[in-house]
Amino acid sequence: MTTTIASQAAPPPPADLPRKKRKEDRAPREGGLASLLLSPTFVVLLLVILYPLLSALYQSLFAAESGLDADGFVVEGESFVGLGNYLDIFAGAESGRFYNALWNTTFFTFVTVGLETVIGVAFAVAMNRAFRGRAFLRAAILIPWAIPTAVSGLLWRWIFQSNGIANDLLNTQILWTAEGFAAQAAVFIAEIWKTAPFIGLLVLAGMQLIPEEVYEAAKLDGANAWKQFVSITLPLVRPALLVAVLFRLLDALRMFDLPFVLIGPRKTSVETLSILAWDESNQLQYGAASAFAIILLVYVAVIAFVFIRVLGADVIGDADARAEKKAARAQKKAARAEKESAR
Amino acid sequence: MMQRRRDRRIAVGLALTAAAAITLTACSGSGSGASTPAADAELEGRGPIQYVSSPDASGAAQATIDAWNAEHPDEQVTWVELPLDADQQRQQMVQNAQVEGDAYSVLNLDVVWTSEFAANRWITALPEDTLPVDELVPATVEAASYRDTLYGAPYYTDGALLYSRTDLLTAAGITEAPTTWAEMQEDCASVLALPEAAGMSCYAGQFDKNEGLTVNFSEAVASAGGELFDADGNPTVDTPEAKTALEFLVDGFESGMIPRDAITFQEEQGRQAFQEGKLVFLRNWPYIYKSLSATDGSSSVAGKFGVSAIPGEDGPGVSTLGGRNIAISSFAENKATALDFIAFFTNREQEEARLALSSRAPVFPEFFEDEAVTANYPYLPTLLTSLENAQPRPKVVAYGATTAAIQDEIYAALTGEKTPDAALADLQTKLTDVTKG
């Protein structure tokens, strides 16, 4: 997927100043040396990314065939079925399960990432204020993110069981871990609890780079807190926020352990594409499992691509954009220095 | 269609690592005729071997291995510890078998995996004379066999028990635990009418969408006189007996005999509910006996409960058999040592020694009535009765797909999504597909 995005997202080489400058600075043999030094990395990437990917693609074209011989032993073979596995997934008898998982995956991703973003930004705003015990609050907010998902899944399962804390507090008898919307809500709550801090921290990092003077100037102009947030904070943390959201998006699309541990496998209302792939491989249907994984991969790639195109998140951080930024930062720094010396 | 013979000894690791870091590992299938392991003829070779199993907190298995190692300095056994989760254990053993690895010699298998491992030739048939099969609980031998051939040595066993609140039954003037479903319902009605039973429910088992549901459903079917598969391995779930069984459960939920939240119960949730005094009857495994009788204040039912065989349609019900077998991997080296080791591991003396350390039920019937043993584990005589009737869970090769189909359809019926008739008809279709291969 890296290659897809890179090739799609890389803009045509602009003939601007920073790029030219960089070219002039660089000795002619430097490029050759760089590729030589980087080649082990490429070999490793080839082995750990490209090979398994191609292998999965290849595997997804086969289906396990098994029957029993007269003595009850498995006669096993694999037959080439071409796109048969994919056809089965999209139009076969069990395709309903796939569409349900696709819908769940999408629904979970957009709802959780949406709510996480709002809550995460609110966290960041709270943490950005200077107050006593801020470091403590930051550490506390980080804890949910530090707990392994499977463990937090168990933790929430305990909270959500029929005589658990959730029902005690709400004084209800909701069966959170059965099926239906309550199960989905349980997944949302646990997922947001876990990952909103992640967005909060990335956004906080972005906020701390915003110079204080900008806010002071805005205050002088009479902008209220909301106006400051919308016109200064949001636009300036946008790059950090978009990266955070993109990471969460990619992560949420392959959501597996939380619904699996919290609600359980094969529960229709929380079954995601990853769980479906796991289920197939658990039944030794590696062809179908690979096909599911490839479909998920393509789906993730498409969503990431659309996100980057539409919102322009600078995730790849290609060299030109970085150089531009560097130049802009240098300029800003110079301006600030000038301002300071003028004072 | 092209048939690919896969005799290559490679595992095609399938690790999808994208920028999104999707990871899925699996292996390509193997195990074709080219590598067919022969049966007893090949049980030779001596030397160090590996015992592969989940961790054993009681230390009982380790004590047996230490005893063996002390006697056999040239044939040492090392323990390969797998995760506690049964699915993960199975997956690692299957992967090892698919790459035909010799790192695992002796496998500790859940009884329901026997057919799958035997039919795939991942484990080796055992010569009958190595084990005292006639002296073991018959159901455990049955569960270690595939098509009348013994593939594993029964290690420990497990069966269902009905836990009842004897204090409340006595208060309602009932002296005997119920043996039929109808009696259980009558007893419930009398007990729940008592003032001290306010807020209680009648009965629960394991009804979450999980292996426990398969266990409870197959028990209900067997207890109504039916079976999930006939002798030839064809599914028989669209029958009057299966319908009686399913309706017992569905009506139980509807009438409130089974509390509504029991649909989320696995073993532990049911134990908690019973332990907190919320249930009159509970179907569960023997392992909860210890926590129920805890006298440290954690159990509100200590000394107030009894155990009996589970009830059925017209008389005592039929338990599902749990437990573990020890088998030899077909790809192991030093199989002669492995064979000696499993005979040693499961012999009478070792089973007896282990009983002192672990509460696992032994496979020799005499221990169930040994007073020295039953003083510690008073439920054992009842468990033996339960085991004498017990049935293994469906003995099919594709057990994973079978249990998944059962869980899907029965859960749908219990939650009211499907009528019992529709669920059973659909289950019949699915199981026919699964057994066809």
pLDDT value of residue A140: 83
pLDDT value of residue A65: 76
Chain A CB contacts of B146 under 8 Å are 72
Q: Per residue in A173-184, pLDDT tens?
A: 888 888 889 999
* CA distance to partner chain B, nearest, from residue A68 (Å): 8
Q: Hey, is the C-beta of A301 within 8 angstroms of any chain B C-beta?
A: yes
pLDDT value of residue B330: 93
Residue of B14, B90, B408 to mutate when probing chain A, most A C-beta within 10 A:
B14
Name the nearest CA neighbour of A25 among A321, A323, A333, A322: A323
* CA distance to partner chain A, nearest, from residue B3 (Å): 5
Judge: A290–B437 Cβ closer than 8 Å, yes or no.
Answer: no
Using CA coordinates, name the residue in chain A closest to B90. A282
Which has more pLDDT, A319 or A78? A78
Q: Hey, is the C-beta of A55 within 8 angstroms of any chain B C-beta?
A: yes
Give CA–CA dist B302/B297, Å, rounded. Answer: 9
Give CA–CA dist A187/A263, Å, rounded. Answer: 8
Judge: A56–B16 Cβ closer than 8 Å, yes or no.
Answer: yes
Say which DSSP state B57 is in: T
Q: Is the pLDDT reported for residue B35 higher than 60? A: no
Which has more pLDDT, A129 or B35? A129
Residue A130's pLDDT band (boundaries 50, 70, 90)?
A: confident
CA angle B258, B259, B263 (to 5 degrees): 90
* CA distance to partner chain A, nearest, from residue B72 (Å): 35
E strands within A27-69? 62-68
Lookup result for tokens 């001596």? B46
CB A290 within 8 A of CB A59: yes
Chain B CB contacts of A78 under 8 Å are 4, 6, 28-29
Q: Per residue in B56-101, pLDDT tens?
A: 877 888 999 999 999 999 999 999 999 887 878 888 999 899 889 8
Residue B114's pLDDT band (boundaries 50, 70, 90)?
A: very high
- Averaged pLDDT of chain B: 86
Using CA coordinates, name the residue in chain B closest to A73. B119
In chain A, positions 9-48, which contact chain B (CB-CB < 8 Å)? 48
Residue of B208, B264, B279, B430 to mutate when probing chain A, most A C-beta within 10 A:
B264
Using CA coordinates, name the residue in chain A closest to B17. A49
Q: Per residue in B140-188, pLDDT tens?
A: 998 999 988 999 999 999 899 999 999 999 999 999 999 999 999 999 9
Q: Is the pLDDT reported for residue A15 higher than 80? A: no
Q: Is the pLDDT reported for residue A302 higher than 70? A: yes
Q: Is the pLDDT reported for residue B15 higher than 70? A: no
Q: Is the pLDDT reported for residue A135 higher than 90? A: no
Judge: B2–A253 Cβ closer than 8 Å, yes or no.
Answer: no
Give the lowest-confidence range in B30-34, B121-125, B428-432.
B30-34
Judge: A266–B146 Cβ closer than 8 Å, yes or no.
Answer: no
Nearest to B20 among A56, A289, A300 (CB): A300
Q: Which of A134-148, A197-211, B237-251 has the highest mean pLDDT?
A: B237-251
Q: Give φ, ψ of B180 to 5 degrees.
A: -125, 165
pLDDT value of residue A112: 94
Q: What is the mean pLDDT of residues A269-281?
A: 91
pLDDT value of residue A326: 62
Give the lowest-confidence range in A22-26, A134-138, B429-433.
A22-26
Q: What is the mean pLDDT of residues A68-88?
A: 83
Nearest to B14 among A5, A56, A72 (CB): A56
Q: Per residue in B322-350, pLDDT tens?
A: 899 999 999 999 999 999 999 999 999 99
Give CA–CA dist B387/B137, Å, rounded. Answer: 8
Q: What is the mean pLDDT of residues A118-141?
A: 84
Q: Per residue in A30-61, pLDDT tens?
A: 778 888 888 899 899 889 989 999 999 999 99
Give the lowest-confidence range in A91-95, B140-144, B316-320.
A91-95
DSSP string, B376-436: T-TTHHHHHHHHHH-B-S---S-HHHHHHHHHHHHHHHHTTSS-HHHHHHHHHHHHHHHHH
Q: What is the mean pLDDT of residues B260-283?
A: 92
* CA distance to partner chain B, nearest, from residue A41 (Å): 15
pLDDT value of residue A340: 64
Which has more pLDDT, B3 or A98? A98
Give the lowest-confidence range in A298-307, B8-17, B41-50, B375-384.
B8-17
**The two three-digit tokens of residue A96, written as one number:** 């309903």
Q: Give φ, ψ of B285 to 5 degrees.
A: -85, 165
* CA distance to partner chain A, nearest, from residue B260 (Å): 9
* CA distance to partner chain B, nearest, from residue A293 (Å): 7
* CA distance to partner chain A, nearest, from residue B244 (Å): 24
pLDDT value of residue B185: 94
Residue A193's pLDDT band (boundaries 50, 70, 90)?
A: very high
Judge: B94–A72 Cβ closer than 8 Å, yes or no.
Answer: no
Judge: A278–B24 Cβ closer than 8 Å, yes or no.
Answer: yes
Give the lowest-confidence range in A191-205, A305-319, B136-150.
A305-319
The order of strands in the sheet holding B77-81 is: B77-81, B49-53, B106-110, B322-328, B153-158
Q: What is the mean pLDDT of residues A234-247?
A: 91
For chain B, what percent of residues have pLDDT higher than 90? 56
Q: Is the pLDDT reported for residue A300 higher than 90? A: yes
Q: Give φ, ψ of B152 to 5 degrees.
A: -150, 160
Distance of CA B199 to the CA centre of its chain: 33
E strands within B73-223? 77-81, 106-110, 145-146, 149-150, 153-158, 161-165, 201-204
Q: What is the mean pLDDT of residues A100-123?
A: 93
B253's CB contacts (< 8 A; 6+ apart) are: B260, B262, B263, B414, B416
Q: Is the pLDDT reported for residue B109 higher than 50? A: yes
Q: Assign B76 to helix, strand or coil.
A: coil
Residue B241's pLDDT band (boundaries 50, 70, 90)?
A: very high
Residue of B10, B22, B32 to mutate when probing chain A, most A C-beta within 10 A:
B22
Which has more pLDDT, B233 or B413? B413
